[in-house]
Structure 1
């Protein structure tokens, strides 16, 4: 982001000063971890400290400036000498008159969410300003508060001028990692997608898209999995009642907690505890179990309440912080195990560096360890993945672990992975397609489980943090883009697993059947030339989105299928978002099409809230509703893997007939 864009957004934005606080720590204090309740500056005026902002380590001396967006996590090491600093918190939002270009820039490159730190060239000018602002802020007069707000702009000007003089660049925090930490810290509190988006000052659609792209999973699914994991720990290691456990992991309604627990694990909480106790009694000898699903993130606490800024006001000097940097026993044991495996494998394998090239796949190396061994399983080749890693992988892998949502692609190719994230299959349209159900590797991926499965290839549809480095020590590992269109993704997966020709045949057959389906619907008069369609997806929390992409829209907007109306085509999503949020009062302006397709999850809560919408006058007066051209589609059909896409060709005509 250039300086002019930065200053333009400061000019366009509405700035509200939230708080100015003076903080003092004595030598020997252990400050708590602290999450920025709003956008803000920290100005260190005395002492020095080693601190981490969103995990990035910095060393700060006296007169150091630090800026963070809302939700940024600050950790300060043990205070060795007296430490004094000021917090200046503000809230930035765009005015209603801001144009679309400004709004896109605000969403994508907001300077208010960026982090940076530097030592100013003229620190005393800033010090005098901060002290004066703090003194005025403590005065109760409204006139002084207005004066402080004016002084804030002068302070920002001086900071920006000196930052540019220092040549310091912005660092954009990883939104997904921040959201993961937020959920793991506050899972016991009421959390929604909207509240998380508000916590980090982004739109709901942008947060949802970024989380899905990086993890392959929805943010709400991750929240549920985190809560259920915590509930399992409480069931196994405490005598708390079900009501206490439900409340402790964020579910006030006990019956709903039991339903969601069974939906996630396959058993009720009571049966889970009974089965676990039975397994303990049947064990003849002790076993070492590593619980490493969350080994990459340390648990930290922070203050949350119902108020707008999510923090409690504390008097000067009592800022709530702590940090815990001890490595978990499980993580240490896994590291030892991985290093041993790595050492063993390095002594028994060799990679022909001359065979590595810039092409996606290079020549095959054949190694033979036994006359009776299957030669296909022992042939290897060097493959260059989507992140540029050059890896020696099996020509025809036999034991694949998949991280991501492309399970239907592998099954369509006749590949049964030994390990998957089972949440992507439990609600799928191909639930019964596995001959031998794969082991659940969980989310985040449990490295202990991956080790136990002894894969000869691990495929990552997405990679978080340092996952590649960790998993590649266990088996050959390739990264691919699971969000690429089916026409690009399936041949790529086929190439990785040694079935590229089969993948291309599957795609050709799918395209032929899609043309036949649409030609059949046209011949039956069920779709007219130039007829338009619009797609809406509805969620259990009553949020609705206009869809332009996904498994269902991609089929509907086939060249022989429906057209997208000019009005819908002109509606642009926020930068980085896959679709556009629709409020009930705007349905008539946004859901413009001859035929309306409504996707919804097969969930009791969603069905209940959706039925309420169907009874409203706004819904009943939609043109497509009045003409009877509404088709309801379960949201499980919106995946674009090969198995789901193929089955949708058979199901769509039947759905439209109802």
Structure 2
């Protein structure tokens, strides 16, 4: 991580100190089984010890600094008389900052690192002063401790960066692999592995792939399929028993994922093996599916094999079975991958002739092939069905609903949208958010198409292994109409898209006319959001009503917004400057009611509040900026504006 980026992350973290503790251990004594109740700095300043944090051993002596996360197990064995501090704290980003956390970024409070400081005395002196002030109870002392803690972090970062200390990915990846081997029969997901080892799941996946060339889930599937093949060959266990032994409670799902990766169903695979007495093989040795605890590559590099050979079960003569065995082993190591390349930008879908479209010229009967089209994306050309019927929308669900497409899966974050009430009853949940998706669940849904909001090629590749995937970066569309039209073209629902856009345009025009009739054109509107810690003003992006007020209803912001938002799309402001940014009307995202705001000594003095021209709504309603939400938000705010008391 670059130095300035690391400072930026710490600077944006809201920190609350929980405790400062000093411990001593005599030589030979130990402290075992302590689970960190919060993010923790361990600062050893005297003695020697073996410190084990969630299985990772740190030989430490004299001065040593270690940082761990909530829930991690800490074991300390003193080899000399030992003295050390534990500083427990809670660190959180604001909701907005968490949403815009870059891929691979780990909040400082969730990072794991350790180092021996080159200049430890400065850190020790700060720690002493923190301990002294912590023992007092005045507000001043609490403030002093927090100030000293920031000094400690600054000094720690400077020394850590000088030493080139990074997080501890290699050891953690080894631990993850070992854990997989020992727990193959248990439900394992990327999210559970991330929680188990104290890492952001996406960061863990990226580092895992760097060291093993496979994602954690790919690696896990490979281990499970490898073990299943071994049991099918060398034991008389039933398919159901084998399924449970490799972590799949649902035998039907096990059959499906086995066939998807091997090319044969488990029962057919076993029959083919039993038909050749002299064939004895070890799938683990030949293809690197080692059951040893290592991080070596576990698949051969031929991800496109299954994409071009989806013919179901093989029918071969006995004379060709030796050749078939090598093919089976190769298939066993592969996962389905979508074809694609290039770097053209996202455009409207263009149609192509489907493979096999000239079948009338053939003397043999062929199975009809569904018509397809080619879509140009930021990751190259993607071949998709012209009329996909099973679509998973990791994002962009609103546009699918607008054109009446058959969405079969999405995330809780998207489906919790209050404006989707009654529209998502038959849609399966595949994860809590785009960064928390169950890929096993995705495979189970067997989608024709996946739609995801990303510009991260690694993230795109994960989805494209399951089904053709259309990746669309955030902010790609210049208007709601453009977005809905794109999905109408993509999904073969052009007529539905045209109908929806016409209805949207008419309803927005009607809302605009209503507001123009009762609100003067020079009335100013402020878009704001308050949390426990911040107050922010917003422009026409990022929701909170900005797109509705400044876009659809054509209203103007206070003059103070022009300079404040000239380079930024939102800006944090001081509550003392509230009156400078308050317009004639205020649309405020808050958890407080208008009555509470009227009683507030600062908010209550604003003319907009006194005249009932403040609209208060929660983040769960103001956050969304998708087509369906913006349409209903426009009508919601129009109803308030045209019925609110108009006081002069």
TM-score computed with the length of structure 1 as normaliser: 0.52
1:440 match: 429
2:442 match: 450
Of 286, 308, 311, the match for 1:349? 308
8 Å contact kept, 2:40–2:86 = no
3-state SS, counterpart of residue 557 of structure 1: helix
Q: Deviations over 1:20-42 (max 9, x none)?
A: 44467969975444255555645
2:276 match: none
Distance 1:445 1:354 in 2: 22
- Do residues 428 (structure 1) and 428 (structure 2) align? no
3-state SS, counterpart of residue 333 of structure 1: coil
Displacement of 1:459: 2.8
Distance 2:43 2:582 in 1: 46
Of 610, 626, 629, the match for 1:641? 626
Of 396, 403, 416, the match for 1:413? 403
Higher relative contact order (CA 8 A, sep 6+): 1
Distance 1:139 1:620 in 2: 38
- Do residues 358 (structure 1) and 343 (structure 2) align? yes
Displacement of 1:593: 0.7
8 Å contact kept, 1:338–1:474 = no
Of 552, 561, 573, the match for 2:554? 561
Q: Deviations over 1:288-333 (max 9, x none)?
A: 99696954444699xxxxxxxxxxxxxxxxxxxxxxxxx9989843
1:568-583 correspondence runs (5 A): 568-569=561-562, 580=572
2:299 match: none
Distance 1:615 1:133 in 2: 43
Of 366, 386, 391, the match for 1:400? 391
Distance 2:4 2:194 in 1: 34
Distance 2:561 2:133 in 1: 52
Distance 1:581 1:372 in 2: 67
Displacement of 1:556: 0.4
Distance 1:467 1:4 in 2: 22
1:288-437 correspondence runs (5 A): 295-298=192-195, 332-333=247-248, 338=257, 340-344=259-263, 346-347=305-306, 349=308, 356-360=341-345, 366-367=354-355, 375=369, 377-379=370-372, 381=374, 384=377, 388=379, 393-404=384-395, 406-421=396-411, 424-425=414-415, 428-433=418-423, 437=426
Q: 1:390 to 1:616 in 2, by over 3 A?
A: same
- Do residues 527 (structure 1) and 519 (structure 2) align? yes
Of 591, 607, 610, the match for 1:623? 607
Distance 1:592 1:23 in 2: 59
Q: 1:449 to 1:141 in 2, by over 3 A?
A: closer
Distance 1:80 1:470 in 2: 45
TM-score computed with the length of structure 2 as normaliser: 0.53
Unaligned runs of 5+ in 1: 94-107, 173-287, 302-326, 601-605
| Bigger CA radius of gyration | 2
1:456-535 correspondence runs (5 A): 456-461=448-453, 472-481=464-473, 487=479, 490=483, 494=487, 497-498=490-491, 509=502, 513=506, 516-517=509-510, 520-521=513-514, 524=517, 526-535=518-527
3-state SS, counterpart of residue 527 of structure 2: strand
Q: Deviations over 1:467-497 (max 9, x none)?
A: 8676555434454445766628826962894
8 Å contact kept, 1:594–1:623 = yes
Distance 2:133 2:585 in 1: 61
8 Å contact kept, 1:536–1:544 = yes
3-state SS, counterpart of residue 550 of structure 1: coil
Displacement of 1:399: 0.5
Q: 1:341 to 1:158 in 2, by over 3 A?
A: same
Unaligned runs of 5+ in 2: 92-104, 170-184, 199-223, 225-242, 264-303, 310-335, 360-364, 644-648
8 Å contact kept, 1:378–1:394 = yes
Distance 1:651 1:152 in 2: 46
Displacement of 1:398: 1.6
3-state SS, counterpart of residue 366 of structure 1: coil
1:544-555 correspondence runs (5 A): 546-548=537-539, 549-550=542-543, 552-555=545-548
Displacement of 1:550: 0.4
Displacement of 1:552: 2.2
3-state SS, counterpart of residue 561 of structure 1: coil
2:585 match: 595
Of 87, 97, 107, the match for 1:89? 87
Q: 1:619 to 1:379 in 2, by over 3 A?
A: same
1:95-110 correspondence runs (5 A): none
Q: Deviations over 1:188-231 (max 9, x none)?
A: xxxxxxxxxxxxxxxxxxxxxxxxxxxxxxxxxxxxxxxxxxxx
1:200 match: none
RMSD: 6.4
**Alignment length (residue pairs):** 476
3-state SS, counterpart of residue 558 of structure 1: helix
8 Å contact kept, 1:365–1:381 = no
Q: 1:484 to 1:615 in 2, by over 3 A?
A: farther
Distance 2:421 2:377 in 1: 32
Q: 1:513 to 1:466 in 2, by over 3 A?
A: same
Distance 2:515 2:43 in 1: 62
Displacement of 1:401: 1.6
3-state SS, counterpart of residue 419 of structure 2: coil
1:183-222 correspondence runs (5 A): none
Distance 1:51 1:437 in 2: 44
Q: 1:132 to 1:529 in 2, by over 3 A?
A: closer
